[in-house]
A = this chain, B = another copy of it.
Amino acid sequence: MTRGEQIGSTSSAHDGGSVVLGLDVGGSSVKHLLAPARSSTDAPPAPRARGRHATPKDSPVDGLAAIVSSLRGDTELERVVLSIPGLVDEAEGVVVRSTNIPSLDGRPLGAQLADELGIPVDVINDGHAAAVAEASWGAGSGIDDVFVLALGTGIAGAHVVDGRVVPGAHGSAGELGHITIEPSGRVCSCGRRGCLETIIGAPALRRAWAEAGGTGGPEVLLAASADGDATAAAIVERASAALAEAILTLCALVDPGCIVIGGGLAQAPHRLVRLAERYVGERASFHRVPPIVPATLGEWAGANGAVLTALRRQRALARS
C-alpha cells in the first residue's frame, strides 16, 4: 500500500529545492510529510507532499529506506525525522523498546538509516512528536506551557514547555494513565490497582459497557450516552470523573497553561472531554485550572511533529 498526494503550488516533491521529511511510523502504516527545509517553525508549513505506506515490519531499515528513496527523487533532502511508537533514546537515535513493531527493538535506527541514506536521520517518540506539534502548531499554539494528552487504548501525555518536551530523566514522564484513582480498584495492566487506565482507556470502557450488557466498542458506548442511554451515561460519567481527578493531580504537580486532549476517545462526540472539564472546574480547590481543549491536528500530529523537529534541527545547524 502506498498512497500519496502532491500538495502546494509547486505541485511535486520532485522539482528540486531543499526539503525535510517527517515519517510517522505506526503499527500498520507510515505517514509521510515533506516540507521546504527553510520553512518558518512558527506555523505549519505548506507541505510539499504527504501520503501513507504500509509499515515494513519485517525488514524495517530497508523498508523505511525504500520509502525515503521513493519520495526523494531529485529533491535535495536535508534531513529525515522518524516518529516511532515506544521508548526511544532520542540522543542516540536508538529504539529502546517499540510498542507495535518488535523488529525495531534495540535497533540504532537513526544511525542505520543515516548510513543508508547519507543524510542526518533522527528518531523521536511518537507521543513527543504529536505533543510538540499540537503545542506549537495545533490546539496549544501561542501558549508556552502545554500538556498534551492522548486518550486511546493507553493514556499518555507530554509536558511541552517553550515548544520542547520535558522528557524526564528516563524519557518516560507523562504517564497520566497510571495515576491511581481508586486505591482498591481493578488490577491494571501495569500490575497496580485502580490506575486511570482501568477506568477510562478504550479497553476499560469496552469492558464496562459489555458488563452492563452493551454491545460494540467505546464509540457505540459514547454514542449511546449522547443519545440519553442511562447505563451508558453512567459509565461515561464515571470515566470523565476519573479523568478529572487525574487532571487535578496534573494541575497540582505540573501546572500546565493549557491541556490539549487528542486520541481516538477524544474525537466527536466530545462528551467525555467536556464532562471531564466540567468536573475539573467543580472539584478544583487551589488549583489553577487551565483551558482543556481538543487536539486539532488529528492523525497528522505525529508527522507534523517529525517535520517540526527536522526544521528546528536544520535551523540549529545553520546557526552553529
Interface residues of A (CB under 8 A from B): 143-145, 159, 161, 166-176, 178-183, 188, 190-192, 245, 248-250, 252-258, 283, 285-288, 290
Copies per complex?
2
Query: B residues within 8 A CB of A167?
Result: 255
Contact assessment for A254 and B190 in the assembled complex, using a CB-CB cutoff below 8 Å = no
Contact assessment for A169 and B145 in the assembled complex, using a CB-CB cutoff below 8 Å = yes
With beta carbons under 8 angstroms apart, the residue of B168, B183, B288 that contacts A255 is B168
Query: B residues within 8 A CB of A180?
Result: 245, 248-249
With beta carbons under 8 angstroms apart, the residue of B159, B168, B249, B258 that contacts A179 is B249
Given A190-B285, A190-B286, A285-B191, check contact A253 B257 (CB 8 Å).
Answer: no
Complex-state Cα separation, A208 to B153, whole angstroms: 41
Given A166-B166, A168-B145, A169-B290, check contact A253 B175 (CB 8 Å).
Answer: yes
Contact assessment for B169 and A257 in the assembled complex, using a CB-CB cutoff below 8 Å = yes
Given A166-B161, A168-B256, A253-B173, check contact A178 B286 (CB 8 Å).
Answer: yes
Complex-state Cα separation, A286 to B154, whole angstroms: 14
Query: What are some 9 contacts across the A-B interface (CB < 8 A)?
Result: A143-B169, A167-B255, A168-B257, A169-B257, A175-B253, A178-B286, A178-B287, A181-B183, A253-B253
Contact assessment for A179 and B253 in the assembled complex, using a CB-CB cutoff below 8 Å = yes
Complex-state Cα separation, A285 to B175, whole angstroms: 12
Contact assessment for A178 and B257 in the assembled complex, using a CB-CB cutoff below 8 Å = no
Contact assessment for B178 and A255 in the assembled complex, using a CB-CB cutoff below 8 Å = no
Give, as a whole number of angstroms, the nearest-CB distance from A130 to chain B.
18
Contact assessment for B290 and A174 in the assembled complex, using a CB-CB cutoff below 8 Å = no
Query: B residues within 8 A CB of A171?
Result: 255
Q: Which residue of B lies closest to A161 (CB)?
A: B166
